[in-house]
Amino acid sequence: MPDARRFGGFASGGAPEADTTAEAAAPLIAAHRRVFPLADAGLLRHAYAVADHWHAGQMRKSGAPYITHPLAVAILLADIGMDTTTLVAALLHDTVEDTGLTIGQVKAEFGAEVAVLVDGVTKLDGSKWGDHAEGETFRKMILAASIDLRVLVIKLADRVHNLRTLGHHPKREKRERIARASMELLVPFAQRLGLYDFQREMEDLAFATLAPEAHERVRTLLREAEDERRAALGELITGMRAELAATGVRAQVQARPRHLYSIHRALPAEASESGGRLRPAETARVVVVVEGTEADCYVALGALHGRWAPVDDSFRDYISMPKYNMYRSLHTAVLIGGEPAGVLIRTRAMDAVATYGVAARIREAGGRDGKVSADLARQADLDWLNRLLAWQPLAAPGDFLDGLRADLSGGGIVVFTPAGVPVKLPEGSTAVDFAYTVSSATAGSAVGVLVNGMRKSMENRLAHGQVVDLITGPYADPPDSWLAAARSGHARTHLKAAIASRMADEASVLGRAAAAKQAAALGGDLREHEDNGTAFSVARRLGFADLDALYEAVGRDQLPVVEFLGHLGIAVSQA
């Protein structure tokens, strides 16, 4: 990044570095230097001063000066170990949208990387895009994230802080709309980027807005279970530490509380609504962080299962088969006092990814000065993001947001081709989704599927770890029923296009038949006008790309038959 301290002269009439800047930016600099001790404090002070200058006079709904928001967002990002460039962009992230500062000015002052990040999180103009503004803004953000993933990380920190201050919005409808959109779109992004701290906080804050009574009940249940949890899990943790030490495995063992929304989702409806009690194991999970290699994780697993009985069907190996968001751990559950307690086993490096997600790569590569290479920061090698990028150009503005919600909702699964190639899919995916993920070009010719060697229909839901083999036929004509079975935006977009194309063909056939029949009744011959080019000329004159498009309009009753024939001269000369 170039030395960005030239701001005093352009466009603003000067952005004075006020005496208060150093004091205001101090918490950000302190948080950043806890991870990167040699980070450029002067650059952060300067970016803060620029943001403060352009947001001068603007206030938040809370009554606080607007600058408190970008500063809070930057501190959130500093706390998870993001690099200096990201923090500069976070400080400036609302300037282009809400002030007179332009992207060109940001680029000239702070460099191209900062400009890409700021532009990526800047909303599109609602007056120009209307009802499609939100969907097209997300489309733009995803495209920007394919260049630099830090765009999404900034957006998530921005939403976390907005949810923290959501109570200051005077209208309940707007608070609920923001909370719901956060649950449907931003929480899944956080999950896919492995930013679990952001995910948990967004879920709890949105939960409090959308279901305040249930939120308070879970808080009460959790508080009432605290002493019992400490006693029960404390005894288990002490025993696990001793068992691992005796096996020769060095590890840290601790209980990590589950967040409120996670507990709420796991509770039976009656317990969440009417009270009851929480069992200790429902409030937290035991995390074993091994000081060693992947192999040591399996040694630890064997030691724990040798001492405590594992719960049937509780084991998941996300080390040999990582989740779609880089997450790796062994999951199991053991019985304590007749109740299952969840146990996660991972190395220290895996724990960093489980805590910081994509930010872990930044923390590791940033050295001591908080600078990372553009190639590393821009790397977009996540399968779920590649899937979005593959189908988003095909989605119409009105369909994109629905497809995005479908692709992001729930978690993810991994299935395998017969050759052992892993295929990552959204949770709840069917063989239809598998077919379009493997090959959009040939998916429509599938007539069935073998799942673990057993014949299933294309509408069959798939489960994590299954082996899936498509059975194909000679024709590519996906039935309409596949659309209801498809889970992923990728499959749904291709199916909608295929169904629309088929309907267009059917309408075109009907339209031509109607035109030919009417022409014959009037004593004319439609084929003659097609053969000599007159019909095509009329189609182009009426604004259609070809005769098929014109006949489709006739078949859909969008162009009256007599009007078309009149342009051919049939209705007039032959009537």
- The set of catalytic residues is 97-98
Question: Distance (Å, rounded) from C-alpha 425 to C-alpha 460?
Answer: 14
Phi, psi of 408 (to 5 degrees): -95, -25
Question: Distance (Å, rounded) from C-alpha 349 to C-alpha 553?
Answer: 60
Contact (Cβ atoms closer than 8 angstroms) between residue 412 and residue 429: no
List Cα–Cα distances, 537 to 24, 440, 520, 524, 546, in angstroms: 70, 35, 20, 17, 9
List Cα–Cα distances, 514 to 531, 539, 552, 561, in angstroms: 18, 16, 11, 7
- Work out whether strand 251-257 and strand 284-290 pair parallel, antiparallel, or are unpaired: antiparallel
The residues pairing with 472 across neighbouring beta strands, listed in sequence order, are: 446
Handedness of CA 436, 442, 444, 449 (dihedral sign): negative
- Work out whether strand 412-416 and strand 446-451 pair parallel, antiparallel, or are unpaired: unpaired
Question: Distance (Å, rounded) from C-alpha 573 to C-alpha 569?
Answer: 6
- DSSP-assigned letters across all residues of 310-356: BPTT--EETTTS--TTS---EEEEEEETTEEEEEEEEEHHHHHHHHH
Question: Distance (Å, rounded) from C-alpha 401 to C-alpha 454?
Answer: 35
